[in-house]
Structure 1
Amino acid sequence: MISKKAIALCATVGVTLSGIALVTPAHADPVSNSYSIVGSDTLEDVVSALANGTTISGSNVRSTVNGASIGSFDATGSPYITTKSSGIRFGRPNGSSDGVKALSRSIDGAAYTSGTVGGPAAVVISNQVDIARSSSGGAINANGELMYVPFGRDAIAYAYKGSAAGIDAITGSQMKSLYECSAGFQIGGVTIKPIIPQAGSGTRKDFIAKIGVTEASMLTVAEGGCVVEGQEHDATTLTAESVMPMAVSRWIAMNTGASYDKRGTGTLGSLVAGVSPVTGTGTAMVPNAPYYANTTWGRDTFLVVEYARVNGDSPKYDAGLAKLIDATQSTALTNTSALISRSGAVKKKFGFLAPTAGVVAYRVAKTA
Structure 2
Amino acid sequence: MRTISKVGLGVAGVAVLLFAQATPAGADAAAQGADIVGVGSDTIQYAADFLADGDYLGNPGFNAAGARMFSFDATGDARGTLTTGATVVLRGGNFPVVRPNGSGGGLTYFTQTDTGANHKVQFVRSSRKPSKTENDRAVALGWGGLRCYQMGLDGLKIATSKLVASNAGTGGISAADLKKIYSSPPQITTWGQVTGYNGPNPGATIVPILPPATSGTEQFFIAQLGLTEAQVRTTAEGLVRAEEHDPAPVQSNANAIAPFSTARLVMIHNGYFNNGTAQDPINLLSGGQAFDVTRPVYFIVRNSEINTSWNRALFAPGGFLSQSFLAQPLVEDAAGFTYQYADAGICNTP
TM-score after normalising by structure 1: 0.70
CA contact (8 A) 1:45 1:259 kept: no
Return the offset for 1:49. Answer: 1.8
CA RMSD in angstroms comes to 3.3
Distance in 1 separating the partners of 2:30 and 2:55? 16
Return the offset for 1:328. Answer: 2.9
Structure-1 residue corresponding to 2:151: 151
Aligned match of 2:210 in 196, 208, 219? 196
Give a deviation string over 1:265-308, Cα, whole Å, max 9, x none.
Answer: 322222x5389x9xxxxxxxxxxxxx7xxxxx100000011111
Q: Secondary structure at the match of 1:157?
A: strand
Aligned match of 1:323 in 310, 313, 317? 313
Structure-2 residue corresponding to 1:361: 344
Aligned ranges 1:1-368 → 2 under 5 Å? 11-12=14-15, 31-33=30-32, 34-56=35-57, 58=58, 60-63=59-62, 66-77=65-76, 79-105=86-112, 107-109=114-116, 126-139=118-131, 144-161=144-161, 162-164=165-167, 166=169, 169-180=172-183, 181-186=186-191, 187=194, 188=197, 189=202, 190-221=204-235, 224-238=236-250, 239-258=253-272, 265-270=281-286, 272-273=287-288, 297-310=293-306, 312=307, 318-329=308-319, 332=320, 334-335=321-322, 337=324, 341-349=325-333, 350-355=335-340, 360-364=343-347
Gaps spanning 5+ residues in structure 1: where? 1-8, 15-27, 110-124, 278-290, 292-296, 313-317
Aligned-partner residue type, residue 361 of structure 1: A
Aligned-partner residue type, residue 345 of structure 1: P
Aligned-partner residue type, residue 254 of structure 1: I
CA contact (8 A) 2:36 2:310 kept: no
Distance in 1 separating the partners of 2:282 and 2:105? 27
CA contact (8 A) 1:107 1:127 kept: yes
Return the offset for 1:201. Answer: 0.3
Distance in 1 separating the partners of 2:279 and 2:181? 22
Give a deviation string over 1:88-140, Cα, whole Å, max 9, x none.
Answer: 3211100001111222245523xxxxxxxxxxxxxxx9511111100011246
Aligned-partner residue type, residue 335 of structure 1: S
Q: Secondary structure at the match of 2:155?
A: strand
Distance in 2 separating the partners of 1:37 and 1:82? 12
Return the offset for 1:70. Answer: 0.8
Return the offset for 1:360. Answer: 3.4
Distance 1:361 1:103, change over 3 A: same
Return the offset for 1:264. Answer: 7.5
Return the offset for 1:163. Answer: 2.9
Gaps spanning 5+ residues in structure 2: where? 1-11, 18-26, 77-84
- Percent identical among aligned pairs is 27
Q: Secondary structure at the match of 1:104?
A: helix
CA contact (8 A) 1:107 1:306 kept: no
CA contact (8 A) 1:152 1:302 kept: yes
CA contact (8 A) 1:154 1:299 kept: yes
Give a deviation string over 1:192-249, Cα, whole Å, max 9, x none.
Answer: 110000111010011111122221221221xx32211111111111223110110111
Aligned-partner residue type, residue 311 of structure 2: L
Aligned-partner residue type, residue 175 of structure 1: L
Distance 1:259 1:38, change over 3 A: farther
Distance in 1 separating the partners of 2:154 and 2:229? 23
Number of equivalenced pairs: 292
